[in-house]
Amino acid sequence: MHTVRGEATAAWSLVDGTTRLSVGVPVGATAEVHVPAAARSSVTARDGAVFVRSDRGFIVYEVPHGGWEFVARDDG
C-alpha cells in the first residue's frame, strides 16, 4: 500500500493455531498494529513494539518505521 511516507506492507499466515503477522512501516511514519489475539500473553513482539491496549479480540501495538513481526498463539 502506498502512503504519503512511502510503501507500507502487511502479510499474515495462520498455521496450526499460530498467527504470524509481518508489517513494514515506511521511514518517518509510525503504525498502530492490531494483532488478532485474546490476551497480551499470547503475543510475541520484538523490542521496540509498544503495547497500547487490548481491543475486542486484538492486542494493539505502536511501532516506528522498519520491519516488524508478531506471533500470536491460540492458547484456547
**For position 52, what pLDDT does the model report?**
98
Render pLDDT for 17-72 as a digit per residue (tens, 0 to 9): 999 999 999 999 999 999 999 999 999 999 999 999 999 999 999 999 999 999 99
d(CA 24, CA 10): 6
3 state SS of 9 = strand
Are 24 and 38 in contact, with CB atoms under 8 Å apart? Answer: no
Q: Which domains does the chain have, with CATH numbers?
A: 2-73 (2.60.420.10)
Joined grid coordinates for residue 25: 512501516
Across 6-18, average pLDDT: 95
